[in-house]
Structure 1
Amino acid sequence: MSKASDFSSRPKVALIIGNRNYKRKENRVKHAASNARQLRDVLQTINFRVTLHVDLQKEMLKQVVEFIKTIEDGSIVLFYYCGQCRQVDGKNYLIPTDDGRIESDIVASEMGANAASILRRLTEKNESGVNIFILDCVKQYFYNRQSTSNSDRLPKGLKTITSSNPVFIQFACGAGKIVSNNRKKNQDNLFAEHLLKNIDREDVPIIDMFQEITENVTQESRGKQQPFSMNGLHQYDQVCLYTMSDEEKINDCNVRIEELNDESEDIASKQPQGSGSYSLAASCRLGEIRALIHKLKIRRQNAIYRKYSTLPAK
């Protein structure tokens, strides 16, 4: 069994894709872009090098391949996709946002990116590392000429995926399942909400973290949404996404807080003088920065407390 400390100094990289603006209104994934950006921000606070793409079109597979080329074997690699997916002949295809021509399974398989193929390429490049593969796809995808009234006869959700290489595969809901778009309860975004709350937890093994996410989503949805995990990490089952010495955590938090403060000042300097207000985009980003700084300060304070409370008495 491999200890978490064995991976504490390994490179950590992530590819995050949020596909929101599909041609057909019924297929749009309301929270995909914001989920992707928030996950990027959180992962960066725990020292991931993150590549982010929003609303990828036909170049989606190309961007994935370019990212995979940068992976150093032995790394911790996280792949997260939030958007539409269509199951065709037992295979999962991630759908690009320029889907105006997708009117059949054949076109979906031609234009979409095969999830199993992406997983295979990723794990083959990182055979001696740890791979986390997350598909946050919970809505039914409809073709442009397909009636939503016939949805009961459509293949639903994702097909299970297997891999012989070390990988933890996570679906936002059960295999072959979808989640109703209940805007009042925001059920179609439950998984992402709990992922963002837990992904940066310190010294928590990956499998334990996702088990808690699954339990929380299942409980909050009253059993209507049950995330599905496939654990193939084998001897790496105790690896954590975030583990550092207290001294390293303190220094890292200081650097990140300084960077975020600089970004906040830069945003303020670019606002029209005398306007007294910020654009919507600037206001949203400033809100995200404040939340991140607050989280980093708590993490720093906890590290300071642990460091000095465990010092030997003089």
Structure 2
Amino acid sequence: MNSLRAAVLLLLFFVGSPVWAEKRVALVIGNSAYRHAPQLANPQNDAGDMASKLTALGFVVVTGRDLDLTGMRGVIREFVGKVEGADVALFFYAGHGLQVNGGNYIIPIDAQLKSNNDLDFEALPIALVLAAMERNAKVNLVFLDACRDNPLATTLARSLGTRSVVVGRGLAKLDTGVGPLIAFATQPGNVALDGAGRNSPFTSALLQHLGTPGQSITDDLIAVRRAVLQVTDGKQIPWDSSSLTGPVVLNPAKIAETPTNSAVFRGKSRGTGLLV
């Protein structure tokens, strides 16, 4: 009798718990404690809270906070080792970033960027992470809360003088192949707000709306955009670029199987959190 009761309780546990059939892997980095620039209040919190959020959504999460260059390379390499064959790969970064000649970089806490030569040795191109994701995963999602006002970009721009190298505000638009969705805290070339609370306005909205049951990530990001517009009085407009080939749902609702909804999308990413 006891064994029967235990079996029933086990069955109820699995029925009432979300089951993730896909392989989901995430890289989450938050850098706050910069050594050669004013420290940022939110990114460390942003990374910790986002890691918890993604774990609840079925991701295996590789997390790094307040990383120097060696530390950042280490967590990226760990992530690349886990992401091979993933159905969904996700990259979240909060901290300083900059664009130089249209290329985007994420900045370790030990960077100084006193000259153009330092860029190759003290910063990491975002393209490094994106390339690994595109090689290994079917669906790629990127969230960049790295458009803050960056004094290191000012230092680098000043060192270049009149040379034909452009250090831009915020981040630049990223060109990718088929499959990724890339979301920025604000429009390309603009600067986002840090906010006065535990999280930045962008990350706070992501924590609230990402993985809404039964809702596609496209609709999640519309809700994020509305929330950030409201809390910043219209000063910050989150922006995204997508080449997804189907509706990605991170938290599928229980949908009755019918011929209609079973044929919504059939393509490369079948069975990867998409409605299929």
* TM-score normalised by structure 1 residue count: 0.66
**What is residue 53 of structure 2 aligned with on the other side?**
42
**What is residue 304 of structure 1 aligned with on the other side?**
none
Q: How far apart are 1:219 and its partner, in Å?
A: 2.8
Q: Does 1:239 align with 2:252?
A: no
Q: Does 1:197 align with 2:185?
A: no
**What is residue 26 of structure 2 aligned with on the other side?**
14
Q: Could you tell me how far apart the structure 1 residues matched to 2:199 and 2:99 are? A: 19
* AA partner of residue 175 (structure 1): P
**What is residue 113 of structure 1 aligned with on the other side?**
124
Q: How far apart are 1:42 and its partner, in Å?
A: 1.5
Q: Could you tell me how far apart the structure 1 residues matched to 2:35 and 2:207 are? A: 28
Q: Could you tell me how far apart the structure 1 residues matched to 2:118 and 2:203 are? A: 29
SS at match of 1:178: coil
1:279-314 superposed Cα distances (whole Å, 9 cap, x missing partner):
xxxxxxxxxxxxxxxxxxxxxxxxxxxxxxxxxxxx
SS at match of 1:146: helix
Counting matched residue pairs gives 229
Q: Does 1:92 align with 2:104?
A: yes
Q: Does 1:173 align with 2:186?
A: yes
1:45-75 superposed Cα distances (whole Å, 9 cap, x missing partner):
2221111110111121342133112113251
1:136-192 superposed Cα distances (whole Å, 9 cap, x missing partner):
11212223993999xxx9620001101113010000111000035564xx5981101
**What is residue 237 of structure 2 aligned with on the other side?**
226
Q: Could you tell me how far apart the structure 2 residues matched to 1:188 and 1:138 are? A: 14
Distance 1:215 1:16, change over 3 A: same
CA contact (8 A) 2:103 2:172 kept: yes
Identity of counterpart residues, as a percentage? 24
Q: Could you tell me how far apart the structure 1 residues matched to 2:46 and 2:32 are? A: 10
Structure 2: 5+ residue stretches without partners: 1-18, 159-165, 256-276
Q: Does 1:135 align with 2:144?
A: yes
Structure 1: 5+ residue stretches without partners: 1-6, 247-314
Q: How far apart are 1:241 and its partner, in Å?
A: 0.9
Distance 1:182 1:80, change over 3 A: closer
**What is residue 24 of structure 1 aligned with on the other side?**
36
SS at match of 2:155: coil
SS at match of 1:233: coil
CA contact (8 A) 1:180 1:188 kept: no
CA RMSD between the two structures: 2.8
Q: Could you tell me how far apart the structure 2 residues matched to 1:74 and 1:163 are? A: 18
* AA partner of residue 12 (structure 1): R
